[in-house]
Chains A and B, each alone.
Chain A
Amino acid sequence: MAAVTFNRVTKVFDGKVVAVDGLDHTVEDGEFMVVVGPSGCGKTTALRMVAGLEKPTSGTIEIGGRVVNDLSPKARDIAMVFQNYALYPHMTVEQNIAFGLKRHGFPRREIADRVREVSKMLDLHDLLRRKPAQLSGGQRQRVAMGRAIARDPQVFLLDEPLSNLDAKLRAQLRGDLKRLHQEVRTTSIYVTHDQVEAMTLGERIAVMNRGRLQQVGTPREVYARPANLFVAGFIGSPPMNLVAGRVADGVLNLDGSPVGAARVAGGCAEPVLGLRPEALRIGREASSSPALRCVVDVVEPMGHEVIIHGRIGSDADTELVARLDAHDEPRPGEVLELTFESKDLHLFDPASGERLRS
């Protein structure tokens, strides 16, 4: 096992497309790090550079303290699970798992032992004689995992391994993956665009956008204290409400409603205010908490909760999403008094997008 370190790694394609821009980051030994971001943010390129499938334009990548920039994928002692599994179609499951072991010169007996061990761990023994075309999506995914685990590499690289599966299977395999990592404790880098996967799987999350690292932290940190507007909007479902605020007469206002003292804005006259949909509650009695009048447009019942899409402000022209208790039974057209705790208010600089208060 080993830590993976990016030292100012940049990757430029064809001299003009900057895929990864000055990435500085360390994935600790044994850690499960999820790299998340929208498509085209450079996360897969970063992963492929660790694998040796792409060469950094500048900067160095270290695995276990050793610079690997010029090493072939074979010499890096890594294993990768691809989005479409990339199982060899002409080989049986057993041959697929054993292929890497053979190429790395493992003795025959050990190959047999490891294949047996992995197939037991991933419940593959009934499938060993089958070819990939005869397997379901979930089974293929498990074989791909098995192929990676069998080699017992220093680092696992996973490139959106669950994205080709249906929602139910995805949720199940998420659990399996987490359990597997707790068992083997191999340093893992997991790339996904799905923030739910990132939150549930990652010990730490690295959020990327436009080739740059936006924030690294535990799922809790990234959710509770997003470093900038991008992270605030990307992590969380439904996403955080981001609305323009204004400081006037020593008071911070949100569309005319006072929501706090001016000092929280840190001298910024028109900060962007962020409120998670789940931070909003229906105000039942007069309290000291700030309140917003919201006209309900659409109600989405989810069973244990309802998501409402509404409008706030004096002209009712600012859209807002709130996640309320199912018992509240809001109706379209209804006007609600929504309250929230001041501590749930996030403030961002509109120019730089950075978080304003700590």
Chain B
Amino acid sequence: MSEHTVQVPVAEAGVEGVWRRFVPSPRHALLLPLALVMLTPLAWMLMTSIQTPDEAMHFPPVLPSGIHWQNYTDALHAAPFGRFFFNTALVTGACVLGNLLLCSLAGYAFARLRFFGRDVVFVVILATLMVPFQVVMIPTFIIMKDLGLIDSLGALIVPNLVTPFGIFLMRQFFRTLPIDLEEAARIDGCSRLGTLFRVVLPLSGPALATLAVITFLYSWNDFLWPLIVIQSDSHMTLQLGLSTFQGAHATNWTLLMAGNVMAVLPMLLAFLLAQRQFVNSIAAVGVKG
């Protein structure tokens, strides 16, 4: 059943254990440069966000002479960041909740209910994973237009409320749960939905967390789709708002980076909190697919 093995931290062995962690091994020769490559852009972003515009444009790059917190307040004044933040949070929250609920329902149907054409429909849904977004962009736009959702947050939420990946993820997870539990629940008097909500979902924490994290990251970072359907400032998301610092002729790098730092923080936080689920999800989908 859903017992996870808890990874015992190396620190349990005390100081000795901590030191054992830092014993260099041949792997580090590859991993350390890779880590550096990953961290450099982040460090640069952080550095630029506290530099003066002159320092930021200097080549070769120089360290900041002091910490210019001014960039952050300027960025907040240059654009309605509070609004962007609220919009992004609203869209992301709605997409996460929508995916958790709807992908669970669909995934459960594909995992456990017997109905005509179930497997065919499932394969078709899976196949849509292979269609790049650029292909469905215009049809989706037209649908949004017909629904009267263009230039509203609804256009950002509705197409992302349920995703084929989410359905796939939940279905694969549900299939690993012992079916006896669900049969016991039905004999105990649960309906199908009752079984899902009272027995199956409480046992699906890892899968739900994974789906939440993935949806959160995707939704928070989405740029192209908001760019297409949103025009007015009041409905812009963070990613879209940041682009206002990039003009056709000049880019205000210090403000852009200060804005970026603020936009990235919640995501970094989410990743740190749910890092294990995030890594597991990639492994789980890869292995059990």
Contacts and interface: CB of A to CB of B under 8 A. Distances in A.
Contact of B1 (A73, A79, A89, A103): A89
A82 B1 contact: no
B184 A74 contact: no
Nearest to B192: A72
Nearest to A99: B188
A81 B185 CA distance: 12
Contacts of B2: 89-90
B37 to A, nearest CB: 42
B203 A51 contact: no
A90 B202 contact: yes
Given A86-B180, A88-B181, A90-B202, A74 B3 contact: no
Contacts of B187: 51-53, 73-74, 78-80, 100
Contacts of A53: 183, 186-187
A197 to B, nearest CB: 20
B199 A88 contact: yes
Contacts of A72: 186
Contacts, number: 62
Contacts of B60: none
A103 B184 contact: no
Interface in B177-224: 178, 180-181, 183-191, 194, 198-199, 202-203
Contacts of B3: 89, 133
Interface string A65-76: 000000011100
B203 A89 contact: yes
Size range of the chain A interface in the assembly: 20 to 34
B180 A84 contact: yes
B26 to A, nearest CB: 40
Q: Is the interface of A mostly helix, strand, loop or mixed?
A: loop
A325 to B, nearest CB: 46
Contacts of B198: 99
- Interface bin, chain B: 20 to 34
A86 B189 contact: no
Contacts of B190: 74, 103
A88 B3 CA distance: 12
A270 B167 CA distance: 64
Given A74-B189, A99-B188, A104-B189, A90 B183 contact: no
Q: What secondary structure prevails in chain B residues at the interface with A?
A: helix
Contacts of A74: 186-191
A103 B203 contact: no
A52 to B, nearest CB: 8
A103 B181 CA distance: 15
A78 B199 CA distance: 19
Residue among A52, A72, A88 facing the most chain B CB atoms (10 A cut-off): A88
A133 B4 CA distance: 11
A100 B188 CA distance: 4
A133 B1 contact: yes
B203 A86 contact: no
B179 to A, nearest CB: 9
Interface in B160-185: 178, 180-181, 183-185
B180 A103 contact: no
Nearest to B194: A103
Contacts of A103: 188-190, 194
Interface string A138-149: 000000000100
A100 B2 CA distance: 21
B189 A100 contact: yes
Interface in B28-50: none
A86 B181 contact: yes
Nearest to A53: B183
Interface string B237-275: 000000000000000000000000000000000000000
Nearest to B177: A89
Interface string B1-18: 111000000000000000
B203 A82 contact: no
A50 B262 CA distance: 61
A211 to B, nearest CB: 21
Contacts of A87: 184
Nearest to A144: B184
B188 A82 contact: no
A103 B191 CA distance: 10
Nearest to B182: A86
B186 A73 contact: yes
Nearest to A153: B187
A51 B182 CA distance: 13
25 contacts: A51-B183, A52-B186, A53-B183, A73-B183, A74-B186, A74-B190, A74-B191, A80-B187, A83-B180, A84-B180, A86-B178, A86-B181, A86-B184, A88-B199, A89-B1, A89-B2, A89-B181, A89-B203, A90-B202, A100-B189, A103-B188, A103-B190, A103-B194, A104-B189, A133-B3
Top 4 closest pairs, chain A to chain B, by CB: A103-B189, A100-B188, A86-B180, A86-B184
Interface of B: 1-3, 178, 180-181, 183-191, 194, 198-199, 202-203
